[in-house]
Structure 1
Amino acid sequence: MKAEQHSSFRLQCIVFALVSASFTNVYITQPVLPVLQNEFSVDMVLVSFSVSAVILGIALSNLPFGVLVDRVAIQPIILNGGLMVVLGGLLCSFTENFWFFLGGRFLQGLFIPCLTTCLAAYLAKTLPLERLSVVMGSYVSATVLGGLSGRLLGGWIHPPLHWRYAFVSAALLTLVATVVAVRGLPRATSREGKQPDLTGFIELLKRWDLLRMYFCAMGSFAIFSSVFNYLPYRLIADPFAFSTESITLLYLVYVVGIFIGPISGRLSNRFGSGQTLLLGSGFLGGALLLILLPFLPAVIVGLLGVCGGFFTIHAAAVGSLNRKLRSGQGRANALYVMFYYLGGWLGITGSGFVYKQGGWSWLVLGLLLLLLIPIGVAVVEYGRDRQIAVRS
């Protein structure tokens, strides 16, 4: 029994380290977007591509890797993916050309799913169902720590050294985590046995119970990514006039997600995904109203609420998705992450134009309209949960 617990804890540590290191690369430029804008002499919308190019790459490559992970062992996928993410990061750290810089970011995005989406499918196929929601909550927590670590690297290393050193640090972390994962992850043994999984993408997309989770992910991440991507521009302007280091400090609110992920998984197990999604949507809506106010305490509390609400929605949605599956975990998780990151890409890109034309208030009002998507999904899920409870 102790040996089994030790093995389980070791697996979770490996997963947490790999996912955290992977997500360190995604948002590394976010707190220094105004700095990059000045250094490369580009406008606000174009410099935001240093984040959205990674997100777009993740969205585009999820489906191919979703197919691959259902057929190939996880170890070679992680090894090759990790090396390409490291290569892209090193390119970003050395190039002086903005388009090469964006190319390196896009390359990282294309191969990050090897370390994240493929790993989620591996967990779905190897872990007992009763543990899956809690473990997926821990997986979400690892994405939180990685996202926070990347922002801290980018915002605190500049200006004492330079933002380019942050890319080198992230590349080293990714390389170490990749090697540890390749050596430490056991071979997958599917719950369904060794029969080939023939579940297709079209079959999965025809399932409304899965499709609504995809749209929930898309809408909620569009909101979340837009808030934190344009936060530096809000905070360098009046009445705040923050420095890069001060802006980076506010990203510490992101740590809330580390605790919310597992809690959301447990709430979904106890009360159902519908009530959990409604709770998260309510927090997110109230938080968006708070960050409209020109007062620092309101902004801090609002950002905490944005993180708490979003990660409640995200963890509940991904846990609900995997509980609905009996096959095709790789493809289903790939579709989830594709919708999730397409939402982030569309949110960041569209919000850039809105912010440029109308400022912070128009941006937040647009995000409140997007909140209708997760609210609608939550209502449907709540009704489904009630029907199941009545039948029981």
Structure 2
Amino acid sequence: MGTYIAGTTVGGLAGRIVAAMVADWWCLNAGQLAIVACAALATAVYLATMQPTVVDRSSSLPFWSALAANLRNPGVMVLVAQAFLLMGGFVATYNYIAFRLEAEPFGLSLAQVSWLFLAYLAGTVSSRVVWRFAADRNPTFTLFVVLGLMLGGLALTLIESLIAIMVGIVIYTAAFFAAHSIASGLIDRRATRAGVSLAPPLYYLGYYAGSSVLGWVGGVAFLNTGWIGGWVGTVTMVAATIILTGVLAGLAERFAKP
């Protein structure tokens, strides 16, 4: 899972940098078209290189029973809620930190701001190595640690210093992808045998729903109260995730896979 997440960090930073650079040089529509072209190319490569999957069509997948098993399992649903909050706060931060850096006192161009997304590379590393740290410790404890680092990174973005903001974003990004790697790795462990086939899809449903819904909500906060409003919203999401992690710790033994 860590390898997969590391790959998503590279795609995420490439998409943001390409779109911003093209939009800054030409126009917004050109930036959007560049992303469409990249997505089309990636899809073509995937279709050309993917290996065929053999599925026994004579047997039906227990979709509804697996869904019901997960909805009744607090250990799984806590992780789904964590994914929703974590990704929502992360997307909101990256969506609107750019506007802060383009405004005074920083006055950066869109192309210059786009290079901030190289901070994703910190996530490329952290998503792979965090399990080495967690291997000798309780993964839930490790999740507490990286969530605390997320809050520390966010705190640095309040300082009126470009260097402090950059350092804060790097810490925040590394900690986010570490948290995502741990949470997504725990989802199978928290699912029962009846629900394990559908637990990861539910996790990613929460993950991308958070991106869509809370990413937009963060924009509403930013428009009405500026960066501080968006910052408070993101801190609230991370704090809620810490609370949910505490709940997860309490449920770990009871809802561990038999």
User: TM-score when scaled to structure 2?
Assistant: 0.86
Matching of residues 21-40 of structure 1 within 5 Å: none
Are residues 1:239 and 2:102 paired?
no
Are residues 1:182 and 2:47 paired?
yes
Using the TM superposition, name which of 219-228 and 346-355 deviates more: 346-355
Please state how far the C-alpha of 1:216 moved relative to its aligned partner.
0.7
Distance in 2 between the 1:317 and 1:330 partners? 16
Q: Spell out, residue by residue over 1:148-184, the C-alpha distance to the aligned partner (whole angstroms, 9 max, x if none).
A: 0111111112333444444444444434433443343
What is residue 239 of structure 2 aligned with on the other side?
A: 372
In structure 2, the CA distance between the partners of 1:225 and 1:305, relative to structure 1 (3 Å rule), is same
Q: Spell out, residue by residue over 1:127-150, the C-alpha distance to the aligned partner (whole angstroms, 9 max, x if none).
A: xxxxxxxxx111111111111011
RMSD: 2.6
Contact 1:281 1:313 in 2 (8 A): yes
Q: Spell out, residue by residue over 1:70-107, the C-alpha distance to the aligned partner (whole angstroms, 9 max, x if none).
A: xxxxxxxxxxxxxxxxxxxxxxxxxxxxxxxxxxxxxx
Please state how far the C-alpha of 1:324 moved relative to its aligned partner.
3.5
Please state how far the C-alpha of 1:199 moved relative to its aligned partner.
4.2
Matching of residues 378-389 of structure 1 within 5 Å: 378-383=245-250
Could you say which structure has the greater relative contact order, defined with CA pairs below 8 angstroms and 6 or more residues apart? 2
Please state how far the C-alpha of 1:383 moved relative to its aligned partner.
4.5
Are residues 1:198 and 2:62 paired?
yes
Amino acid paired to 1:198: P
What is residue 199 of structure 2 aligned with on the other side?
A: 332
Distance in 1 between the 2:42 and 2:220 partners? 37
Matching of residues 49-60 of structure 1 within 5 Å: none
What is residue 91 of structure 1 aligned with on the other side?
A: none
Distance in 2 between the 1:376 and 1:222 partners? 16
- The DSSP-based 3-state class of the residue aligned with 2:113 is helix
Contact 1:277 1:378 in 2 (8 A): yes
Distance in 2 between the 1:299 and 1:349 partners? 22
Are residues 1:307 and 2:202 paired?
no
> Of 184, 206, 224, which residue of structure 2 is paired with 1:357?
224
Amino acid paired to 1:182: L
Which sections of structure 2, spanning at least 5 residues, go unmatched? none
Q: How many residues align?
A: 251
In structure 2, the CA distance between the partners of 1:307 and 1:268, relative to structure 1 (3 Å rule), is same
Q: Spell out, residue by residue over 1:201-223, the C-alpha distance to the aligned partner (whole angstroms, 9 max, x if none).
A: 23211111100100111111121
Please state how far the C-alpha of 1:362 moved relative to its aligned partner.
2.3
Amino acid paired to 2:206: F
Matching of residues 276-295 of structure 1 within 5 Å: 276-295=142-161
Distance in 1 between the 2:40 and 2:208 partners? 24
Contact 2:74 2:251 in 1 (8 A): no
Distance in 2 between the 1:175 and 1:370 partners? 33
> Of 155, 177, 182, which residue of structure 2 is paired with 1:316?
182
Contact 1:280 1:309 in 2 (8 A): yes
Contact 2:144 2:242 in 1 (8 A): yes
Q: Spell out, residue by residue over 1:8-30, the C-alpha distance to the aligned partner (whole angstroms, 9 max, x if none).
A: xxxxxxxxxxxxxxxxxxxxxxx
Please state how far the C-alpha of 1:327 moved relative to its aligned partner.
5.4
Contact 1:274 1:380 in 2 (8 A): no
Q: Spell out, residue by residue over 1:331-371, the C-alpha distance to the aligned partner (whole angstroms, 9 max, x if none).
A: 32332122122222232222222222211112212222222
Distance in 2 between the 1:235 and 1:282 partners? 25
- The DSSP-based 3-state class of the residue aligned with 1:196 is coil
